[in-house]
Amino acid sequence: MNINWLEPFTYSFDGLTITLPTYGYNGGAGYTNGVFGLIPTTETQPAYVDALDRLFYRHDLASAEATTAAQQGLADYHLLTGIESLNGRTLHDPEASLYAGGTELAMLALVELNPAAPDLTPRQATNAVRDAIHNIEYGVTHLSATELGLAQPYLAEAADIVTTVETLLPGLGDVHLPHHTFDLHA
């Protein structure tokens, strides 16, 4: 299991505060090499469980080195596009797929909220949302019963990210974010 269901972090952005699990050694705000609060440097020996976790480490390092909103926006943009570039084999693991999709939505929101971040074209934003939806739905539908039970408390919070992204990107056209994915009783 690569999602650390019992090792959550809390993150706030744009008035929204969410609590989510960490992933591997580097997935989660302020979580690097399996430690909260570690500030990575180029000398830090990275640890990661897979290619997704490696992207999280690179994001942690870029974020630690960022001194401007533009640099942070670029770090968030690179994490978003890096996840989009992962192949199906990497995200065949349901936990990796679920966490990747949720991270894509979060990074999309952060890029859109940061006026100094690279601008996404409507097509890029739509493709990112579609990829996120695919990853989330694959993850949720392929988790084991045990993993699904562990995920349940976090899914309602993840729905808040969906609402934030829909507010930020009202022109998504025919793309509809999967609110039903986050309500497993529906």
173, pLDDT greater than 70: no
pLDDT single digits (tens) 95-138: 999 999 989 988 998 898 899 999 999 889 889 988 988 898 89
Query: Which of 1-5, 9-13, 174-178 is predicted least confidently?
Result: 174-178
CA nearest 183: which of 150, 157, 144?
Answer: 157
Q: Please report which confidence band the pLDDT of residue 184 belongs to, taking 50, 70 and 90 as the band edges.
A: very low
Count of structural domains within the chain: 1
Mean pLDDT, the chain, whole residue set:
86
- Give yes or no for a contact between 175 and 116, defined as CB atoms under 8 angstroms apart: no
**pLDDT value of position 161:** 67
> Angle of helix 51-65 relative to helix 94-113, nearest 10 degrees?
30
Name the token pair of 174: 């025919």
148, pLDDT greater than 60: yes
